Amino acid sequence: MSEPTDSNSQHPRYHLLKSLDYSQKEAVASSAMTSACDNFMNAFALHLGATSIQMGFLTAFPQLLGSLMQLVSVWLGTFFTRRMLVLCTALLQTLLMSGFAVLAVKHRDDLAGDLIMLVIAYQCSSNLIQPQWRAWLGAMARQNQRGVFFAARTRLTMATSLAVFVIGGVVLTMGDIIGLAWIGFFLMFLAATVGRAFSCFYLFNMNDPVPQTVVPVSTQFYETFGIVREAFKDPVFRNYSYFVAGMQGAAAISAPFFAVYMLKVLNFSYFQYSMNLAAAIAAQFLMLRYWGRLSDKHGNRYIMLVCSAVLPALPVLWLFSANFYYLLVVQLLSGLAWSGFNLTTANYLYDIRPHHSNFATYASLQAIVTAAMVFAGGLAGGYLAALSGLLVKLTPFSLGAGLFIVFLASGIVRAVMLFWFIPRAEEPRIRTHPQLFKLLYRIARYNSNGVVLDWLTVTEKDED
């Protein structure tokens, strides 16, 4: 193919196509960062000697403070262009990745507190960038091509992330075998730094086809609080928000301690640990389209409740066997259930929000409520794990590992939330949904529950 002429290179369509191409490359580069940070951070905290309470803090504080940054992002968007905000935040994250690499080199047992502060900064920057990046991507992808574009982007993200899982597990295991696990973590965060640096390069070369007008006197930030008051007057939205937040908060009770159990109690290698996480994430990704078809056929409420019924059993299943392959099967079941839960709760929110209202605003509100519950669950789990040795002695039956108290508590709270919500789960009026991946789904990040979906916008208007 011949090189574009100078006149073509000045054409807006040429810049748009180049930006879309750069955005796909950016997906690969940034995935190297997110997959390293979001999945190996608990293992890194244990390597730095984090206590049970600190492991709880690592789940609690970053999620809460990070979610609030989405509102700050809306406010900053009235002073700066989204392209500038995205670029500056991406550069900040490059520095943060190098900070994690420095901690790996130091590898002292008193650095867990420093790690928590860096993770808070990382989560805040990730949430600060999300609203602006969503809007930027949505403006670049044409409506009739968004499905293909985001499906391809998601495949690239998943392929890169799974590669990081495997390579990271191998490198960490080899370093641990020779007694130099810190080298494995250093190489991982060095790769994350390089990945984010390349991401910044691609972002810098991308154009915003519809740059928004900066209006410092905008009232958008204050109007958001008015929407908050109105949203929580609606009992359907309120009950839904409490249910989703409660489930995620219950999951946060046990979330950081699966890593503790695998690496410290079962003495899994880092490779076995990474394969355990990868099983849940791969299962989620593969099941998304299947759950989408089922929810279209049977309704989101029905599928949401069926998947929710499985969630309380998941942490309890860890009590029955320490076999590596058994736990892989448990993680596959976890991926199956969480993928259905995440997809249908997102669709359910789309159905229950007021007609013609801003979906992104309601999604952000629900995310903030969820972060508050994750904060509470993370703290509760940390203190419960710290007392687990004593609590196990007080139980009339043998539980085995002390952390099983934490797993049981998580399962019980999940069951309580499920039984509370069942009589309050109304069947909403079904709206016309775009097909899966014509909704601007993207894999935003990963956590202990696997894939976290990020909604960008919808490609069709609501129909009466």
Q: Residue 396: which pLDDT band, with cuts at 50, 70 and 90? A: low
Given a cut of 50, whether residue 340 has pLDDT beyond it is: yes
- Residue 371 CA: distances (Å) to CA of 38, 118, 264, 380: 16, 18, 28, 14
- Percentage of the residues of the chain whose pLDDT score is greater than 90: 33
Structure tokens given for 58? 């690592």
| Measured distance CA(146)–CA(435) in Å, rounded | 11
User: Which domains are assigned to the chain?
Assistant: 1-209 (1.20.1250.20), 221-452 (1.20.1250.20)
Lowest mean pLDDT among 221-230, 347-356, 415-424: 221-230
- What mean pLDDT do residues 283-302 have? 78
Whether 236 and 382 have beta carbons less than 8 Å apart is answered as no
* DSSP H or E segment with residue 455: strand 450-455
pLDDT in tens, 112-150: 999 999 999 999 998 888 878 777 776 776 655 655 666
Q: What is the reported pLDDT for 278? A: 86
* Of residues 6 and 32, more confidently modeled: 32
Residues sharing a CB contact under 8 Å with residue 385, sequence separation 6 or more, in sequence order? 52, 53, 55, 56, 257, 260, 402, 403, 405, 406
Q: Residue 229: which pLDDT band, with cuts at 50, 70 and 90? A: low
Burial group, residue 245, by CB count within 10 angstroms (0-12, 13-18, 19+): buried
Given a cut of 70, whether residue 424 has pLDDT beyond it is: yes
pLDDT in tens, 365-375: 777 888 889 99
Given a cut of 80, whether residue 315 has pLDDT beyond it is: yes
Q: What is the reported pLDDT for 150? A: 67
- Percentage of the residues of the chain whose pLDDT score is greater than 70: 77
Burial 246-260 (b: 16+ CB within 10 A, else e): bbbbbbbbbbbbbbb
Q: What is the reported pLDDT for 24? A: 82
Structure tokens given for 358? 């801003």
Stated pTM of the model:
0.81
> What angle is formed at CA 128 by the lines to CA 185 and CA 54, rounded to 5 degrees?
45
Whether 260 and 403 have beta carbons less than 8 Å apart is answered as yes
Q: What is the reported pLDDT for 46? A: 92
Amino acid at 113: G
Given a cut of 70, whether residue 222 has pLDDT beyond it is: no
| Measured distance CA(101)–CA(191) in Å, rounded | 9
Q: Residue 68: which pLDDT band, with cuts at 50, 70 and 90? A: confident
- Residue 47 CA: distances (Å) to CA of 86, 107, 115, 263, 426: 32, 8, 11, 10, 46
- Residue 27 CA: distances (Å) to CA of 100, 200, 418, 455: 21, 11, 36, 16
- What mean pLDDT do residues 332-336 have? 91
- What mean pLDDT do residues 197-226 have? 69
The strand pairing partners of 441, in sequence order, are 455
* Of residues 102 and 278, more confidently modeled: 102
Given a cut of 70, whether residue 405 has pLDDT beyond it is: yes
DSSP annotation of 1: -
Q: What is the reported pLDDT for 444? A: 42
Lowest mean pLDDT among 17-21, 152-156, 283-287, 455-459: 455-459
SS3 381: helix
- What mean pLDDT do residues 389-414 have? 81
The strand pairing partners of 450, in sequence order, are 447
Given a cut of 80, whether residue 191 has pLDDT beyond it is: yes
Given a cut of 90, whether residue 303 has pLDDT beyond it is: no
* Of residues 150 and 439, more confidently modeled: 150
* Of residues 313 and 350, more confidently modeled: 313
Structure tokens given for 305? 């409740």
Given a cut of 70, whether residue 32 has pLDDT beyond it is: yes
Angle between helices 82-106 and 12-47 (to 10 degrees): 30
Q: What is the reported pLDDT for 223? A: 59
SS3 14: helix
Q: What is the reported pLDDT for 432? A: 47
The strand pairing partners of 442, in sequence order, are 454
Given a cut of 90, whether residue 394 has pLDDT beyond it is: no
Q: What is the reported pLDDT for 174? A: 93
Angle between helices 112-140 and 82-106 (to 10 degrees): 150
Residues sharing a CB contact under 8 Å with residue 386, sequence separation 6 or more, in sequence order? 51, 52, 53
| Measured distance CA(98)–CA(295) in Å, rounded | 43
What are the start-end ranges of the E strands in 355-449?
441-447
| Measured distance CA(418)–CA(243) in Å, rounded | 8
DSSP annotation of 355: T
CA 99, chain centre distance (Å): 21
* Of residues 71 and 410, more confidently modeled: 410
Backbone angles phi, psi at 310, to 5 degrees: -85, -30
The strand pairing partners of 446, in sequence order, are 451
Residues sharing a CB contact under 8 Å with residue 249, sequence separation 6 or more, in sequence order? 370, 373, 374, 375, 376, 377, 413
Mean pLDDT of the chain: 79
